[in-house]
Chain A
Amino acid sequence: MDYAMCWTLEVGGDYRHSQASRRMLSGVTPAYQGTPRHSVLRVENLSVDFIRGGLGLHAVRQLSYEIGVGEAVALVGESGSGKTVSALAVLRLLPSRTARVSATSIDFDGNDLTRLADSELRKLRGYRVSMVFQDPLSSLNPLMTIGQQISEVLTTHLGLSDSQAAVRTQQLLDMVGIAGHSRRMRSYPHEFSGGMRQRVMIAMALACRPALLIADEPTTALDVTVQAQIMELLANLRKEFGMAVLLITHDIGIVAGFADRTLVMYSGRLVESGPTENVLAHPRHPYTLGLLRSIPRVDRNRRGELPSIRGMPPNPYDAIPGCAFAPRCAWAIPQCHVSSPALEAVGTDWAAACWVKPNEAV
């Protein structure tokens, strides 16, 4: 299918990506260009604390990362590791009453999000950066038809008229593989299956051709065969549009076929980051290594007990003096329990926050 067709309907001067779409129409795909030094998002020293009943919870600590133009980056971690919170903090979507967000700078597409006025930020969200969530049913409005919800994005951000928006909505549904538009556009979210709803969410998120798509566990609620469809769709659309994607997931499996780089979070901190190939095949942080070893793999004839990580993730309310993973770590040395290691380069564009940095194959 020719996705580029969707973008031939240019509207006024407001539509910023006309040049890119013209390039696409001429058959040149603006794909990821190697070194991501031309970044779409650069986060520096992001910390998030939640204050509840006088107790402070450090959800994210000193997080720094960068996403290149058109790059696919995976943010991996289990529940409570701070992966979702950090993304919400970047877009200033956390409740200001309970969340204390601080950062040296958050540079998105030439804007410093830490300083940007709310009204300006609102214009960016859904337009230059958009989000897809885990549960499409709760993120869609149950009282509005699918068509109305997609059109709303187009009329709000692109200033399209209703009829223009309707045409474009059809093209968007086409793009995400939903056939039978006119009937589908009049349907309500509950009439769609989980996979179809997620396709609608993706259509809405991509309606304005964002420079960055943040996909938070986009396939967790779906079956594996549908997960494969959605991940393929995301990968194709990303290539077509040269869009950067931040994939937030607890499933390190779906990272391998999708992300250029992988960031691993544990207990609010980035513990390893690097090219996906290196991080998955030869992780240098014991948590990444332990996690990969403990996953039963469908492509292996292995039986019996799995090498598991002992213990459990720390309580986020507890203050941990050293490395948060040390109590569960098989490689821990006395130093690990005393002081927290910073990210240190272990290769090109590859870093691990560990005093030991074991060098073992998965």
Chain B
Amino acid sequence: MLPVSEEKAPVRAPLLEVRNLTVRFPLRAPVFARGRHQITAVDGVSFSIHRGEVFALVGESGSGKTSLARAIVWVRRPDGGSVLFNGVDLATLNGKQLRMSRRGFQMVFQDPYSSLDPHQTIGRILSEPLRVHRVSNVRSRVYELLTLVGLEPAFAARFPHEFSGGQLQRVGIARALALKPALLVCDEPVSALDVSIRAQVINLLIRLQRELGLSYLLIAHDLGIVRQIADVTAVMYLGKIVEIGTNDNVFNHSGHPYTVALMSAVPVPNVTVERNRKRIILVGEIPSPGVTITGCRFHTRCWLRTRLGDPEICTSVEPPLEGRVDHSIACHFTGEVMR
């Protein structure tokens, strides 16, 4: 433990800072061509998450959001850029220090069936992180955790197969909370659950965040959930953030044509709303990240570009992510989006 006087970190410093993060994957290629063939899943992404903040990362499959999350929790070392947790660059830590630092950020996975060991009791699953980190009073902490996520302490003696998906996801959340982290990285935490159960787990996440002052990095493709609980939202497309800002800005004043299209594609369970809304249907699908795209990475599917008569700049110059602190957009013609 550091003496208090040495605590130099400014009070308002972000809890997590991601700087220019890049993740690449090698493609299968002939031996002599290896290294040249790779895909860039995350391409220089920067953002920060403050204490008590819910930060959402949205995007379609292939946008790189999961690769980004895995690099942030240091499951896979990034190929470029840095991750600072509490002001400390994770790359500078040795194994033991990293393990200590990891107590502060934990992950909740999409599928609770495959992320919990079926051979271990719930109690054992929950106590494992506690034993690894030599926390005392394991048993009482396990009971405390189960109560925290709305399960009965008696469940500790049971096995995963005895539970429903919603209950298992509660166990997954409890495990992530075992070491009292400040940040939870939640990768599609409710998309594997039944529709009538999702709201319960979302509500649990909201309650825990308030009660424990947690920060979340929420990865989701369901924009409804993101709108409901996030403070800041970043929209990813092909490895880059194309729009980022406060929820109000991103949802009510979307400035990127992709964000606009993504939101218009989300179905709303109301016939009148569906009839009256203007739906922008994008052509094609998200290109493979292995394909090199010059200019704006969204230009192949951009409806705005078509409307503006294919401006040359969209295919030649990559638009930088720029704007204000609370709203930045990577589009040459963001002023035209709202028209």
What per-residue 1/0 map shows which CB atoms of B177-197 lie under 8 Å from chain A?
Answer: 000000000000000001111
Q: Does A253 contact B (CB under 8 A)?
A: yes
Q: Does B312 contact A (CB under 8 A)?
A: no
Task: Describe B's contact surface by its main secondary structure.
Answer: helix
Question: With the chains together, A303 CA to B206 CA distance in Å?
Answer: 10
Residues of B within 8 A of A195 (CB): 285
Q: Say yes or no: B195 contacts A298, CB within 8 Å.
A: no
Q: Which residue of the partner chain, among A291, A303, A305, contacts B195 with CB atoms under 8 Å?
A: A291
Q: Say yes or no: A306 contacts B199, CB within 8 Å.
A: yes
Residues of A within 8 A of B282 (CB): 225, 228-229
Q: How many contacting A-B pairs (Cβ < 8 A)? A: 151
Q: Does B294 contact A (CB under 8 A)?
A: no
A292-322: which residues lie under 8 A (CB-CB) from chain B? 292, 294-310, 312-313
A339 to chain B, nearest CB (A): 23
Q: Does B306 contact A (CB under 8 A)?
A: no
Given A257-B267, A277-B271, A307-B199, A296 and B224 contact (CB-CB distance below 8 Å): yes
Residue tally, chain B, CB below 8 Å to A? 48
A192-241: which residues lie under 8 A (CB-CB) from chain B? 193-196, 223-229, 231-232
Question: With the chains together, A302 CA to B247 CA distance in Å?
Answer: 11
Given A296-B225, A306-B202, A312 and B269 contact (CB-CB distance below 8 Å): no
Q: Which residue of the partner chain, among B166, B261, B265, contacts A227 with CB atoms under 8 Å?
A: B265
Given A253-B267, A257-B274, A302-B228, A309 and B262 contact (CB-CB distance below 8 Å): no
Q: Which residue of the partner chain, among B200, B269, B279, contacts A297 with CB atoms under 8 Å?
A: B269
Q: Does A250 contact B (CB under 8 A)?
A: yes
Q: Does A90 contact B (CB under 8 A)?
A: no
What per-residue 1/0 map shows which CB atoms of B92-115 lie under 8 Å from chain A?
Answer: 000000000000000000000000
Select the residue from B198, B252, B269 with max chain A CB neighbours within 10 A: B269
Q: Does B327 contact A (CB under 8 A)?
A: no
Q: Say yes or no: A290 contacts B196, CB within 8 Å.
A: yes
Given A195-B285, A232-B281, A250 and B195 contact (CB-CB distance below 8 Å): yes
In the complex, besides A256-B274, A305-B207, 4 extra interface pairs with C-beta distance below 8 angstroms are: A224-B223, A280-B271, A300-B227, A306-B202
Pairs across A and B, CB under 8 Å, 19 listed: A194-B285, A196-B285, A225-B261, A225-B265, A226-B285, A228-B264, A251-B195, A252-B269, A256-B271, A281-B272, A294-B196, A298-B224, A299-B273, A301-B227, A305-B203, A305-B206, A312-B194, A313-B164, A362-B270
Q: Give the interface of A toward B (CB within 8 A).
A: 78-79, 193-196, 223-229, 231-232, 250-257, 276-277, 280-281, 287, 290-292, 294-310, 312-313, 328, 362
